[in-house]
Amino acid sequence: MPVFQYTAMDSSGKEKKGKMDAPDEQSVGAALKEQGMFPTSIKEVTAGGGPKKGKGKAASGGDKGGSMFSKMGSMNIGTPVIKKRDLTVMTRQLAILLDAGLPLVRALKTLENQSKNPAMRKVLSETSSAVEGGSTFSEALSQNPKSFDKLYLNMIRAGEAAGALETILDRLATFMEKAIRMAGKIKAAMVYPVIVLIMALGITSALLIFIVPKFKKIFQEMLEGEPLPWITDKVMSISDILMSNLVSVIGAVVGIIVLYRVMAMTKKGKWFIDWVKYNAPLFGPIIAKSAIARFSRTLGTLMGSGVPVLQALQIVRDTAGNEVVSGAVQQVHDAVKEGESMAKPLDATKIFPPMVISMIEVGEETGKLPEMLAKIADTYDEEVDLAVEALTSMIEPLMIAFLAVVIGTIVVAMFMPLISIIKKLGN
């Protein structure tokens, strides 16, 4: 009989690991549920004791002790992946079909038949076949961990346990729609200035590398021995430095990009990058507000769906998308596990503003924490909207002024000696 290695959480949110003999993964999941545990990872192990490649459910947190290369090698190449936007639409449609009274398998097959997305059709086909074979919906979805993350799977489990799957799917779709909208706003706020900055650097570099040296040659021939204006001399010096160190400059740019990529693949490096983003001028407040909105909406949605608070905090930690926030949530989780309320440890992290702490404290006292978290998320969604609009309206004239000053300085520096040349030729 195959041996499976599992990771599961008990009712208190404590993680447990072990091995179990069972005919298949579904049997392991069912046995763990009977023991009051929630499986987060189930993998078949080989005769040597290691996980069998290509098998098993979603990993609970990755290979924490392995190198970044082992993580890259563990990716399931060829596994169908449903994009977030498509998944949101599918979730909304499935909620509508189930609410209309269709059985789950029929609803899944209906969506499969109408979908034109190959990845979507494959995932829906596998899911409906697994459900027909006796698996629960959450167990069937866990076969495609790249498409369905921990948040999605745990909310589906909560919906199955409460017998309100269509309600949970509707909440999931709403949550995902708002998350996509928020991500789009943040992306729009950052992409515009980055593109303008890259264009400015590109134009400036082109002028200094290709245009300024030609003017320098003309000035040397036409104004031999005559001093150049101070600004012209400085621009030409910058051009000479750039030309003589062009390979080094390109190498430095490539090195910075590679270093960023490597750091982003390590836990400490990713924490440092996220900390810089969180505290950066201009963009930092937007990132911080969006992180608070994401934390509040995710936690509120999970708790409102019946997921236990400790398990909900673990899911929020794993899906925060920011290592700084993940670390803060872990501190809150540890404090709540010891019997504390949520407000005090949140305040101790120094990441969440006083207003958020006060609202969470009121929500805990009144027993309406999920509703209060939803209000916090809505409030910060609006604040992000306002911050993005303000940033865009401020950055646009700043970028135009920056371009005008940089390019204008180069143009003026090149034309000042030309005036002297024209006067010389006129005489």
Return the DSSP state at 15: E
For range 70-81, the mean pLDDT: 50
Q: Which of 19, 44, 71 is the last residue of a domain?
A: 71
Does residue 123 sit in the same domain as residue 186?
no
Lowest mean pLDDT among 47-51, 146-150, 157-161: 47-51
Split into its structural domains, the chain has a count of 3
For residue 389, what are its two tokens?
A: 């609009």
Residue 331 pLDDT > 70, yes or no? yes
Residue 54 pLDDT > 70, yes or no? no
Does residue 62 sit in the same domain as residue 199?
no
Q: What percent of the chain has pLDDT over 70?
A: 89
Q: Please report whether residue 159 resides in a domain.
A: no
What DSSP line would sit under 376-398, residue for residue?
Answer: HHHHHHHHHHHHHHHHHHHHHHH
Residue 249: pLDDT band by 50, 70, 90 thresholds?
confident
Residue 123: pLDDT band by 50, 70, 90 thresholds?
very high
Residue 254 pLDDT > 90, yes or no? yes
- Can you give the residue range of the structural domain that contains 179? 175-427
Does residue 257 sit in the same domain as residue 302?
yes
pLDDT of residue 196: 78
Lowest mean pLDDT among 45-54, 200-209, 368-377: 45-54
Q: Please report whether residue 41 resides in a domain.
A: yes
pTM above 0.85, yes or no: no
What DSSP line would sit under 173-238, residue for residue?
Answer: HHHHHHHHHHHHHHHHHHHHHHHHHHHHHHHHHHIIIIIHHHHHHHHHHHSTTPPPPHHHHHHHHH
Residue 380 pLDDT > 50, yes or no? yes
Residue 258 pLDDT > 90, yes or no? yes
Dmax over Cα atoms in the chain, in whole Å? 102
Residues 6+ apart with CB under 8 A from 357: 343, 346, 347
Count H helices, E strands: the chain? 18, 3
Does residue 325 sit in the same domain as residue 419?
yes
Q: Please report whether residue 156 resides in a domain.
A: no
pLDDT of residue 416: 86
For residue 408, what are its two tokens?
A: 């204008």
Sign of the dihedral through C-alpha 17, 21, 24, 28:
negative
Name the packing angle between helices 283-304 and 150-162 (round to 10°): 20
335 compared with 32, residue with greater pLDDT? 335
Polymer length of the chain: 427
- Measured from the Cβ of residue 78, the count of other Cβ atoms closer than 10 Å reads 6
Q: Please report whether residue 228 resides in a domain.
A: yes
Does residue 242 sit in the same domain as residue 345?
yes
Burial of 413 (0-12, 13-18, 19+ CB in 10 A): buried
Q: Please report whether residue 166 resides in a domain.
A: no
pLDDT tens profile 338-367: 888 888 898 898 888 899 999 999 999 998
Q: What percent of the chain has pLDDT over 90?
A: 15
Residue 73: pLDDT band by 50, 70, 90 thresholds?
very low
Q: Please report whether residue 167 resides in a domain.
A: no
pLDDT of residue 79: 66
Residues 6+ apart with CB under 8 A from 324: 271, 274, 275, 278, 291, 351
For range 313-334, the mean pLDDT: 87
Burial of 314 (0-12, 13-18, 19+ CB in 10 A): buried
* CA pair distance 92, 309, nearest whole angstrom: 26
pLDDT of residue 63: 41
Does residue 233 sit in the same domain as residue 130?
no
Q: Which of 133, 148, 163 is the last residue of a domain?
A: 148
Amino acid identity, position 320: A
Lowest mean pLDDT among 92-96, 210-214, 383-387, 423-427: 423-427
Residue 414 pLDDT > 50, yes or no? yes
Does residue 213 sit in the same domain as residue 347?
yes
Q: Please report whether residue 78 resides in a domain.
A: no
Residue 91 pLDDT > 80, yes or no? yes
Give me the CATH number covering residue 108. Answer: 1.20.81.30
pLDDT of residue 427: 65
pLDDT of residue 74: 38
Q: Which of 25, 41, 71 is the last residue of a domain?
A: 71
Q: Please report whether residue 206 resides in a domain.
A: yes
Residue 128 pLDDT > 50, yes or no? yes
177 compared with 73, residue with greater pLDDT? 177
Element (H, E) at 278: helix 267-279
Does residue 236 sit in the same domain as residue 96?
no
Characterize the bridge pairing of strands 15-21 and 3-9.
antiparallel
Name the packing angle between helices 283-304 and 369-426 (round to 10°): 160
Does residue 237 sit in the same domain as residue 107?
no
Does residue 62 sit in the same domain as residue 88?
no
pLDDT of residue 153: 87
80 compared with 312, residue with greater pLDDT? 312
Lowest mean pLDDT among 22-26, 141-145, 230-234: 22-26
pLDDT of residue 12: 57
Does residue 88 sit in the same domain as residue 233?
no
* CA pair distance 310, 333, nearest whole angstrom: 6
* CA pair distance 127, 42, nearest whole angstrom: 17
Does residue 208 sit in the same domain as residue 276?
yes
Given the structure tokens 């019946």, which residue do they identify? 306
Return the DSSP state at 26: H
Residue 221: pLDDT band by 50, 70, 90 thresholds?
confident
